[in-house]
Amino acid sequence: MTNFRKVVSLFCITSTMAALLFSLSASANTEELKENPYKVKRTLPKEMVKHRKLFSKGEGGMSGTYQLDNHPIYTVHSPGEWGGNVTFIVASDQVIVYDTSISTQGSKAALAEIRKITDKPIKTIFYSHHHTDHYNGTAALVKEADVKSGKVTIYAWENFVEEKNNEFGAILPRQAIGAAYHAGALLAKEDQVYFSCCGIKSLGGSPGYIAPTHTLKGGEVLKIGGVEIQVIYTGGEAISEFGLYLPKTETLILADEFFYSLPNIHSIRGSRPRLPQNYLKALDTALELKPKYLLGSHIMPVIGRKKIEEVVTLNRDAIQFMWDQSIRYINKGYDGMDLQQKFNVLPEYLTGFPFNTYLYGSPRTTVPEFYNGWVSWFNGDAATLYPDSRQDHARKLVKTIGGREKVLAAAEKAFNEKDYKYAARLSGFLVTIDTKDMRARYLKASSLRGIGYKEVNQIMRSNYLTGALELEGKIKAEDILKFSLKTFLPAVLDDKTIFAQWQYKINAEKIKNSQVSVCLKVKETNIYWDIKIRNSVMISKNSTDKICKNAENITLDQLNQLNKGSKKSEALSLKHVNKGINSLYNALDLKMDPINMSLR
């Protein structure tokens, strides 16, 4: 019996030591690495070099102002190399503008071009849709006071404000991080090529949004300054999108339905599904109208009916091919990953420079969403229905392989063989287990770089290369967030938008099933808000003084200061804090947390 106890005791000690050794081997070693030891040669695909010139200034660059023959219609293409064209029409008594670029810097460059041609005032502006690069430069073109007084009219689709708030409001922090990765704005100068849909510069500019004054529903025929303008709903890139047709000059302006690339039917920066059918309807409209001139918010004018028919037909057929064939193969049992492998590239007959390239949109970023958006996130394999957490899966996998050192050796072997995808996946498991494991982080970073330097799709390339910088610690999530918010966060939000966003900021863990009820009166608008919180959900409604008899007063400035996370006492500037506002404020989680994308 004594010998048996000794054997059992020895076995227990041995098992404990083995578990301890695995724990140590599965986590980072303590070596200090001053720099990344894994080197990758920087390369740039030839297609990207050629494509970049479509938006750049300088030798061979195409950024500039283009007139439609002798007609008073112009496009300032990639103004100052900023993303988002400014198209303008010189009418009898004014200038009519379609889209205002991504920043006030871009629109200032456009305004300089406008003033070379005419000194007529800008009185009418159209926002083609709710994406930032189409409305964010307005304040450099017109004064907000002139908009409020009625001297300047701004048209947008009837759901513009709602869609803008949905896309860049509720998930603004995630969108901002995604956009920084998307555009590659934080890359080193030698890696910072351009934003392939739109221009060389995309983030870091100043916002200048001014709210629209009039909404459109489709079918309107406007007469502005002697120019007849037909409003045409398109709804492809965004469901708030519309184009303009000028029958006298047979000119069609399509905004973001036609690019120097396949369209980005799914945006991996983070967006709701876009409908390929809407892109097809927009392009079919172009074919049916048979315009003599085709303009867009990211292209130079396409001139000539035959040329327009040729390039538009090939582009719309490529879109339909991706959709139709994806559905065909979904019905053969393919999931999103299978589709991505199947349609890595399109048949050669559906490609062509510049409109049918993979520089912006790509089958690899498009077809997986057809499965996810129209079938499910679930691929049908029950083993994936409710899997282990990312961390648990990584720990179990590394343990099965034999621990950190064996996984690292396998990842290094894959890296040296230039199998960068596999190297990134293997080293990624180690990073997931221990985000302080710098050797694993460096290896994953260089593996992503190896993939990125060969990638022709700019968005995918930017995600790979920005992810590498994050892993190396050269950029931090909080810095990315601050940088991106400069472009996407308006200086002032209205009360409706703020309260709509706050429903997503209820700190459920803190307040649980506590109840809050408060009536607020916003000073500038004299609008009453009846706000209730119950079961950790917030309901806000417009109200009246009859219902909100004891409403607490608050200003828009105070609301905005609170929304930005200012301290309650500073934001409210009150000697005492009203009970209702205090309860509401204490229920909110207003902190914008930085989000790591690759370091996790």
In angstroms, the first-to-last Cα distance of the chain is 50
57 occurs within a structural domain: no
- Is residue 12 over pLDDT 70? no
Residue listed under structure tokens 């695995």: 22
In a shared domain, residues 336 and 457 = no
pLDDT band at 566 (very low <50, low <70, confident <90, very high): low
391 occurs within a structural domain: yes
Express as a percent the part of the chain with pLDDT over 70. 92
**CATH number for the domain that contains residue 520:** 3.30.1050.10
pLDDT band at 7 (very low <50, low <70, confident <90, very high): very low
| Three-state SS sequence of 75-130 | EEECHHHECCCEEEEECCCCEEEECCCCCHHHHHHHHHHHHHHCCCCEEEEECCCC
What mean pLDDT is predicted for residues 325-330? Answer: 98
| Spatial distance between the Cα atoms of 404 and 400, rounded to a whole number of angstroms | 10
**CATH number for the domain that contains residue 433:** 1.25.40.880
The pLDDT score that the predictor gives to residue 20 is 41
Express as a percent the part of the chain with pLDDT over 90. 74
Reported as a single tens digit per residue, the pLDDT across 413-428 is 999 999 999 999 999 9
Reported as a single tens digit per residue, the pLDDT across 204-255 is 889 999 999 999 998 999 999 999 999 999 999 999 999 999 999 999 999 9
592 occurs within a structural domain: no
CA count, 13 A, side-chain hemisphere, 222: 22
- Is residue 1 over pLDDT 70? no
Last residue of a domain, one of 429, 463, 485: 485
**Are 329 and 371 a contacting pair, CB within 8 Å?**
no
Cα–chain-centroid distance for residue 533? Answer: 31
- Is residue 8 over pLDDT 50? no
The overall average pLDDT reported for the chain is: 91
Last residue of a domain, one of 347, 374, 401: 374
What mean pLDDT is predicted for residues 498-508? Answer: 93
Reported as a single tens digit per residue, the pLDDT across 33-88 is 889 999 999 999 999 999 999 999 989 999 999 999 999 999 999 999 999 999 99
In a shared domain, residues 154 and 298 = yes
In a shared domain, residues 444 and 519 = no
In a shared domain, residues 440 and 535 = no
In a shared domain, residues 10 and 159 = no
Can the peptide bond before residue 273 be classed as cis, meaning omega within 30 degrees of 0?
no
What mean pLDDT is predicted for residues 438-460? Answer: 97
| Spatial distance between the Cα atoms of 427 and 429, rounded to a whole number of angstroms | 5
Beta-carbon contacts of residue 205 (< 8 Å; ≥ 6 apart) = 82, 102, 103, 104, 105, 106, 136, 486, 487
The pLDDT score that the predictor gives to residue 174 is 86
In a shared domain, residues 22 and 113 = no
The pLDDT score that the predictor gives to residue 5 is 45
Beta-carbon contacts of residue 357 (< 8 Å; ≥ 6 apart) = 47, 51, 260, 261, 262, 351, 456
pLDDT band at 509 (very low <50, low <70, confident <90, very high): very high
Structurally, the chain folds into a number of domains equal to 3
597 occurs within a structural domain: no
| Spatial distance between the Cα atoms of 316 and 184, rounded to a whole number of angstroms | 28
E strand or H helix at 442:
helix 438-452
pLDDT band at 550 (very low <50, low <70, confident <90, very high): confident
pLDDT band at 186 (very low <50, low <70, confident <90, very high): confident
The pLDDT score that the predictor gives to residue 575 is 43
- Is residue 9 over pLDDT 60? no
| Spatial distance between the Cα atoms of 328 and 374, rounded to a whole number of angstroms | 13
**Are 175 and 461 a contacting pair, CB within 8 Å?**
no
pLDDT band at 563 (very low <50, low <70, confident <90, very high): confident
What mean pLDDT is predicted for residues 437-460? Answer: 97
In a shared domain, residues 440 and 527 = no
Last residue of a domain, one of 316, 343, 374: 374
pLDDT band at 28 (very low <50, low <70, confident <90, very high): very low
pTM of the model: 0.89
- Is residue 168 over pLDDT 80? no
**CATH number for the domain that contains residue 247:** 3.60.15.30
- Is residue 289 over pLDDT 70? yes
Instruction: List the domain range (segments joined by +) for residue 422.
Output: 2-40+385-485
- Is residue 23 over pLDDT 50? no
- Is residue 24 over pLDDT 70? no
Beta-carbon contacts of residue 122 (< 8 Å; ≥ 6 apart) = 88, 94, 95, 96, 97, 114, 141, 142, 152
